[in-house]
Amino acid sequence: MAIPKVALGSAQWGLQYGIAGHPKASKNEISKILALAALNNIKVIDTAHQYGNALDILGSLSHIIKKNKFKIVLKIPKIPENVNLWKIQDVKAQIFADFARLKTDYVDTLMVHDASVFLEPGADIIYDMIVNMKYLGFCKQVGVSVYDPNELKIILSRYGLDVVSFPANIMDQRFQNKSVEYMSALRIEMHARSLFLQGILLMPYNQAMDKLTWEFQRVFKRIYAKFRGDMLKACLSYLRQQYPINYGVIGVHSVEQLSEIIQTYNGINSWYNFDSFEINDLRVIDPRKW
């Protein structure tokens, strides 16, 4: 089975994103990132309406994106509560506005950013809208971004989707095994995100040890010791072993960071048992609880 491929997350291109608070990458830096990515066959870019001006920057670099045949995964804008046939037209209008910002009339994947809308009244209207966009040729695939395995199970029992994005990292292993096997059986394309837990797993040891709960500190200390301080290798080793997963979405803010990620990922040749590093406390593994 093929190892997961690296995909580019763009949150850091439009926002000061993550607990480490890296500044936004400049347009010039992003163009360098895209050039290096293309050279290394990294061809998927994950972006969203919510990522500040990331769509505008990508639009200004559309010539590079088209030339190198990058695939865009676009998470659609927030969907209003109690959505109806009238409100969904506003959502569609915003999607086309995002297409205009990207300077395109097509994306590879159109994804619902907030999975909870599939569990509320009006879910069928939302699903019909994205499927209609697919059949009209505005995207190849439709999907959803989820946080919880139980939420995912309910959604997939009701709706047929092509792609699912979910958190997965050395501490957050909730989707491992059963959820991944279920999606694999349905031939769903799987995108793992939050591989660095919003950057906290790559922070210097003393800074990381000041964060979150004692359970995080206890497990972080053990991972740090096992990998002799190379937390990038630890995180990427976990991704590399998740064979049914198709892509690991990694946010990068510099071409040097991407270069290090590529070199580290390609150089991993050992198999590790990560079971003992799993944490189930949502106050640690779900950034929404921080």
Element (H, E) at 241: none
Long-range interactions of 145-148: CB distance < 8 A, separation 24+: 145/75, 145/111, 145/112, 145/113, 145/114, 145/115, 145/193, 146/115, 147/115, 147/286, 147/288, 148/115, 148/174
pLDDT in tens, 192-208: 999 999 999 999 999 99
Provide the 3-class DSSP secondary structure of residue 248: strand
CATH code assigned at 263:
3.20.20.100
Cβ contact 78:106 at 8 Å: no
Residue numbers of the domain that contains 246: 5-289
User: Within 13 Å of residue 124, how many CA atoms lie on the same side as its CB?
Assistant: 1
Two structure tokens written together for 102: 């990207």
pLDDT in tens, 229-274: 999 999 999 999 999 999 999 999 999 999 999 999 999 999 999 9
pLDDT in tens, 23-79: 789 999 999 999 999 999 999 999 999 999 999 999 999 999 999 999 999 999 889
Query: What does the pLDDT average to over 159-180?
Result: 96
Bridge partners (DSSP) of residue 142 are 110
pLDDT in tens, 123-149: 999 999 999 999 999 999 999 999 999
Question: What local confidence, expressed as pLDDT, does residue 91 receive?
Answer: 94
Instruction: Give the number of domains in the chain.
Output: 1
Cβ contact 168:195 at 8 Å: yes
